[in-house]
Amino acid sequence: MYGERLAIERVIREEYGQVLSAVMAGVRDLQLAEDAVMDAVTAALETWPRQGVPERPGAWILQVARRKALDRVRRQQTRVRKKDLLEAEASLSASVDAPDAREPEVVADEQLRMMFLVCHPAISRESQVCLVLRTLGGLSTAAIARAFLKPVPTVAARLTRAKVKMTEARIPFVLPPRDELPARLDAVLAAIYLVFNEGYAASSGERLLREDLCVEALRLARLLVQLLPDDPEARGRWRVAEALGLLALMTLHHARRAGREHEGRLIPLEDQDRSVWDADALDEGIRLTRLALSMREPGPYQIQAAIAALHAEAPTAAHTDWSQIAALYGALRQFADSPVVRLNEAAAHGMAYGPDVGLAMLDRITNLEGYYLLPAARADLLRRARRYDEAREAYVEALALVENEREAAYLRERLDALPANT
Amino acid sequence: MEYLILIYEDERINEARDPKANDELMQAYYSYTEQLKQAGVLMGGNALHTIDTATSVRVREGRTLTTDGPFAETKEQLGGYYQIRCENLDEALKWAALCPSSATGTIEVRPILNY
């Protein structure tokens, strides 16, 4: 029975985003749509264990949810403005008895509109991240709170505030106009990547809880890629290559997760045991990277994926194609210049052309004062140049700035391993 | 749906502007207002005197406290507003971006609450 319950819950989670988006298209009020879908989910959990899971579970939930939404619209005469209510009622009445097979284009359109709605620039980044997990990931508020290590009431309040703003300020449930599409898609990609990074940056104690976030981000990126048009003329506008690039990047990072840590210690890429990397996932990531790059619409996610793919393709750390990676960081700087990108570029040049080249580039980086990665990168290159005394100073400097305990442990280990003198 | 477009600017920048640039800005506001009218979205609006002229009033325990100055000292000050009527927030945001002061100040868009 318990297994059956789990299977039902899985089916519901898989259908949740589609159903919610479809109801939203009718009511245009996210809180109301969510409440109606929750009513339908409750009904499914009561009915299905007795009568079996229907042939098309999504259609079943959607039909019940629309009916529940209609009930709620009719009951809630005061909360929303009259005109909106009438429109919602008309739309729901028309669709409540609609045939249960829906056009795939319509389903895709509704889910895309949901992505644009929850990643609207008028909604804060923190809220976007929670909302995309809630609406399209089907995660409960409690699950989101657990993953972000936040109290449930905090996350609940954040979600509510965002939903109220959507309704009161009237953020439209539409596809953005042509000229705004690229920027709006970038916002969607950024939100998905943030979900991933939240999970990826987790330390060992919290890893089990938070790895879900990586899996969820991958699922969302895959969904987005499926939803985007694949005709070559529309690709550039719809950021298809970048969406694929993001999916590729996250796939590659996720494939290496087993090698990143050992007994709570952070293992740098060059010391990782490559045999524990997920070879199938790496192949998939490399394939996606090539596919994205073949579209000839370069962008920052694709370049980062290409860098990750080069690391994945190297049989050992010593075989890494550093000159190619150095060139890719230069390309990345053209799209997204930041001190951190410059730092990585300098480190890659140091690996490709000798530590002195990298050190000279590091010296030219400004606006990174107080950030531990700069002295840490300098320390690493000085160590490789066998300038151990200077390396020691740089490690000490980095240790004074680092906040994350796990990264501090790594730096301390490197410092202790330095040979006595030059 | 109605929105208030609130125009916040650093008043010192306004005061430091030379007459020619000032004329250009006035001209830009004139044509912006015309655009709002032509589009049929304009409900009203005004420019305000600087915060030097502001007076704040609070009534506490039946006593009226009147103070010289705005409600809060901020880097940018409310310098004027438009009231517009349009379909949704995206349209309102588009109008906000077209407001001449969006290039130097901050335009805040607030939906108007209808009882």
ipTM score of the complex?
A: 0.86
- Supply the angle between the helices A300-313 and A279-294 in degrees, to the nearest 10: 140
Last residue of a domain, one of A276, A292, A320: A320
Residues A97 and A4 in one domain: yes
Residue contact A122–B93, C-beta within 8 A: yes
Residues A178 and A65 in one domain: no
> What does the pLDDT look like over A14-27, one tens digit per residue?
899 999 999 999 99
A 104-133 near B (Cβ less than 8 A): 122
- Domain assignment of residue A52, yes or no: yes
Percentage of chain A modeled with pLDDT above 90:
70
Look at residues A47, A42, A20, A43 and name the one whose alpha carbon lies nearest to residue A31.
Answer: A20
Residue contact A171–B87, C-beta within 8 A: no
Look at residues A318, A200, A309, A183 and name the one whose alpha carbon lies nearest to residue A254.
Answer: A200
Shortest distance between the Cα of B107 and any Cα of chain A, in A, equals: 13
Residues A252 and A271 in one domain: yes
Shortest distance between the Cα of B87 and any Cα of chain A, in A, equals: 8
Residues A113 and A138 in one domain: yes
Q: What is the mean pLDDT of chain A?
A: 91
> What does the pLDDT look like over A287-346, one tens digit per residue?
999 999 999 999 999 999 999 999 999 999 999 999 999 999 999 999 999 999 999 999
Last residue of a domain, one of A201, A227, A253: A227
pTM to 2 decimals?
0.89
A162 neighbors A129 (Cβ within 8 angstroms): no
Q: Report which secondary-structure segment, H or E, holds A160.
A: helix A152-168
Q: What is the mean pLDDT of chain B?
A: 94
- Among chain B residues, the shortest Cα distance to A121 is held by B90
> What does the pLDDT look like over B72-88, one tens digit per residue?
888 999 999 999 999 99
Q: Hey, is the C-beta of A264 within 8 angstroms of any chain B C-beta?
A: no
What are the structural domains of chain B? Answer: 2-111 (3.30.70.1060)
Residues A143 and A58 in one domain: no
DSSP states along B24-53? HHHHHHHHHHHHHHHTT-EEEEEE---GGG
Residue range of the domain that includes A29: 1-102
Q: How far apart are CA A360 and CA A378, in angstroms?
A: 10
Q: How far apart are CA A225 and CA A3, in angstroms?
A: 31
- Domain assignment of residue A217, yes or no: yes
A88 neighbors A24 (Cβ within 8 angstroms): no
Last residue of a domain, one of A320, A350, A377: A320
- Domain assignment of residue A418, yes or no: no
- The residues that bridge with B59 in the sheet, in sequence order, are B64
> What does the pLDDT look like over A353-394, one tens digit per residue?
999 999 999 999 988 888 899 999 999 999 999 999 999 999
With b for 16 or more beta-carbon neighbours within 10 A and e for fewer, the B91-111 pattern comes to: bbbebbeebbbeeebebebeb
- Domain assignment of residue A301, yes or no: yes
- Domain assignment of residue A75, yes or no: yes
Q: Hey, is the C-beta of A172 within 8 angstroms of any chain B C-beta?
A: yes
Residues A201 and A123 in one domain: yes
DSSP state of A77: T
Residues A220 and A108 in one domain: yes
A297 neighbors A241 (Cβ within 8 angstroms): yes
Q: Which of B87, B111, B114 sits opposite A169 (nearest CB)?
A: B111
- Among chain B residues, the shortest Cα distance to A81 is held by B114
- Domain assignment of residue A115, yes or no: yes
- Domain assignment of residue A253, yes or no: yes
Q: Collect all residues from B whose CB is shorter than 8 A from any CB in A.
A: 1, 87-90, 93, 109, 111, 113-114
Instruction: Tell me which amino acid residue A59 is.
Output: A
Q: How far apart are CA A1 and CA A8, in angstroms?
A: 11
Residues A186 and A125 in one domain: yes
Residues A33 and A71 in one domain: yes
Copy the structure tokens of residue A308: 């990750």
Lowest mean pLDDT among A11-15, A121-125, A274-278, B3-7: A11-15
Residue contact A174–B89, C-beta within 8 A: no
> What does the pLDDT look like over A222-234, one tens digit per residue?
999 999 998 888 8
Q: How far apart are CA B58 and CA A359, in angstroms?
A: 61
Q: Hey, is the C-beta of A174 within 8 angstroms of any chain B C-beta?
A: yes
Residue contact A170–B1, C-beta within 8 A: yes
Q: Hey, is the C-beta of A168 within 8 angstroms of any chain B C-beta?
A: yes
- Domain assignment of residue A189, yes or no: yes
Tally of domains within chain A = 3
Where on the phi/psi map is residue B13: left (φ > 0), alpha (ψ -120 to 50), or beta? Answer: alpha
Residues A114 and A219 in one domain: yes
DSSP states along A358-378? HHHHHHT--S-TT-THHHHHH
Residues A191 and A251 in one domain: no
Residues A85 and A108 in one domain: no
